[in-house]
Amino acid sequence: MNKNGFLTERIAKLTKNVKTMAVTCLQWGDTGKGKIVDLFSGWADIIVRGTGGANAGHTIVLGLKKFIFHLIPSGIHFDKDGKVNAMGRGMAIDPEIFVSELSLLDKQKISYDNLIVAGNANLTLPVHILLDLANEGGGSKGKIGTTGRGIGPTYVDFYGRRGLTINDLLNKDVFAIKLKRNLDYNLRVLRGYDPVMLKELLFSERLSKGIYYDSQNILNIEAIVSKYVDEYGKRLGGLIRDVDAYIIKNAGKKKILCEGAQGHNLSILHGSYPFVTPSDCSLDGLLAGCGLNRSYLDLALGIIKGFYMTRVGDGPFPTELGGKLSDDWCGGRSSEGKVDRAKELEKYPDVSVDDEDEFRQGMALRRAGDEYGATTGRPRRVGWLDLPLLKSALRWATKDAALTKLDVLNDVEEIKICYAYDYQGSDYRYGDKIIRRGDHLYEAIPAAEVLQYCQPIYNSFPGWQGSLAGVTDYDGLPRQLREIVEYVRNQTDILPRIISTGADREETIFV
């Protein structure tokens, strides 16, 4: 049997009797969900996204070229096979980005005949992008390090009961009334910001170079109505559907693959609050955003990078290699200002994954794993696998897991796994308990007030120091690697189902 036939057989075995499955990340995102979703897209009839918006980014290979998509589900290149790609109610959709992704598909002659978008998905407006950029810029103290895509303010308006939906693009009168109501509120908020900064932002590329600017009222309502309804509404109108009804009708009958975005530790409900994204990107949040719930779920794969982690944006990261130095460097707060891959390479041409200096070691792992933000190009902060955080994520996930990107550690001499924290903050009342300096925590309390004072306690393992190329089954993996998998399994009870040893489909081991 050729390698593809072998893969299909393994996928069929894992999905036997499965009708609904979900793929979510159990860390801070960027764990290689795209590859796992891609593996199962051939199996699925329907691929549905349920959370987040253009803050996400996944690479799709079209022909010989690679493209980064933010909104359209990863299964779009299976459209030609009749698969339905759906964008669910839980998403926040910026129609400008959506339209530009459709144009790219047109240009590449990739069909999207079966792409549908939920009418009740949240609509990102220019005011949301403006607020996001204004909150994050100008030396603001409450910075989160967002992707600047307007995601936070979109969901804030949803919960504030003044949000607009994708379906509003279809009804000009309704759109205009709801927009006016929304801006009655948001313009009052915007008047508290520096008008010069707002004008500058409104003339930026991200906000269509001034088309929404109004010198009296900050935002020009007519310009927004015209662009959104007359242009985007017309372009997207044919794709808008009652996706909730469609999914429920097919649940348990067709094969549904729910595609997660971001990662559990970024969930507004369960993540390292307030350094989180505003949607619930946990397993339950994904299902709700797709119009489903756990009663329909047959299989959920939680993605975990083997055996490191990354984080983009601000917030505590106990195992970060290089600690504050790395945080400042990646967050653009070092003397170098904003950095990207090219700048890093120029400043630090020779770094090693075994460097004694942890900042440099983290940079080398970042390079080995190509850990630069798909949406923002920011360098991702890198650290060792953190089991206390994983245990806390597993409270809300199933035990089935996929370990990804193992090949990134091929050359590392010593691999560290954090199994506990040494709390170094001042006494902290946590409900009826008190956490004291020197206490050891074996499961994370993800709140930033606690996590920021947690020092990692590690177990060290020798690396396997060799290539994983050509390995097709678990027993063929190096002993050192299997020992670490067994350790993680014993500590957390996860059931590794897949081990990914490279970007290609063939570099996948089913355990």
> Nearest residue to ligand IMP, using CB?
313
Beta carbon nearer to ligand IMP, 193 or 317: 317
Strand, coil or helix: what is 418? strand
317: DSSP letter: -
The dihedral over CA atoms of 92, 96, 98, 103, expressed in degrees to the nearest 10, equals: 180
Residue 369 Cβ vs ligand IMP, minimum distance, rounded to whole Å = 14
Query: DSSP characters for 75-142?
Result: GGGGGGGT-EEEE-TTBEE-HHHHHHHHHHHHHTT---TTEEEETTSEEP-HHHHHHHHHHHSTT-TT
Beta carbon nearer to ligand IMP, 263 or 463: 263
**Tokens encoding 312:** 């983009």
Q: Where are the beta strands (DSSP E) in 5-62?
A: 20-25, 46-49, 58-62
The residue type of 486 is: E
Looking at 28-36, 194-202, 295-303, 355-363, which segment touches ligand IMP (CB under 6 A)? 28-36
Does residue 406 interact with ligand IMP by CB under 6 A? no
Query: Among 21, 22, 24, 30, which residue interacts with ligand IMP (rule: CB under 6 A)?
Result: 30
Residue 361 Cβ vs ligand IMP, minimum distance, rounded to whole Å = 22
Residues marked as catalytic:
30, 58
User: Restricting to residues 301-330, which ones interact with ligand IMP according to CB under 6 A?
Assistant: 312-313
Does residue 56 interact with ligand IMP by CB under 6 A? yes
406: DSSP letter: G
Residue 49 Cβ vs ligand IMP, minimum distance, rounded to whole Å = 12
User: What is the helix, strand, coil percentage profile of the chain, to 5?
Assistant: 40, 20, 40
Does residue 152 interact with ligand IMP by CB under 6 A? yes
Q: Where are the beta strands (DSSP E) in 188-315?
A: 213-214, 218-219, 240-241, 256-259, 299-305, 308-311
Does residue 55 interact with ligand IMP by CB under 6 A? yes
Residue 415 Cβ vs ligand IMP, minimum distance, rounded to whole Å = 23
Does residue 51 interact with ligand IMP by CB under 6 A? no
C-alpha Rg value of the chain to the nearest Å: 23
47: DSSP letter: E
Residue 376 Cβ vs ligand IMP, minimum distance, rounded to whole Å = 7
Residues 6+ apart with CB under 8 A from 189: 131
Query: Among 29, 285, 369, 463, which residue interacts with ligand IMP (rule: CB under 6 A)?
Result: 29
Total number of residues binding ligand IMP (CB under 6 A)? Answer: 20
Residues 6+ apart with CB under 8 A from 430: 445, 450
Residue 258 Cβ vs ligand IMP, minimum distance, rounded to whole Å = 16
Contact code string over 131-150 relative to ligand IMP, x by CB under 6 A: -------------xxxx-x-
Residue 4 Cβ vs ligand IMP, minimum distance, rounded to whole Å = 29
Rounded-to-integer distance, Cα 272 and Cα 447, Å? 5
Does residue 404 interact with ligand IMP by CB under 6 A? no
Residues 6+ apart with CB under 8 A from 156: 278
Beta carbon nearer to ligand IMP, 246 or 275: 275
Beta carbon nearer to ligand IMP, 262 or 501: 262
Beta carbon nearer to ligand IMP, 312 or 471: 312
Beta carbon nearer to ligand IMP, 286 or 511: 286
User: Restricting to residues 219-258, which ones interact with ligand IMP according to CB under 6 A?
Assistant: none
Residue 312 Cβ vs ligand IMP, minimum distance, rounded to whole Å = 4
Rounded-to-integer distance, Cα 335 and Cα 476, Å? 47
Beta carbon nearer to ligand IMP, 120 or 277: 277
Q: Is 130 left (phi over 0), alpha (psi -120 to 50) or beta?
A: alpha
User: Restricting to residues 260-279, which ones interact with ligand IMP according to CB under 6 A?
Assistant: 261-262, 266, 275, 277-278
Which of 85, 87, 113 has its CA nearest to residue 244? 87
Task: Enumerate binding residues for ligand IMP (CB under 6 A).
Answer: 28-30, 55-56, 144-147, 149, 151-152, 261-262, 266, 275, 277-278, 312-313
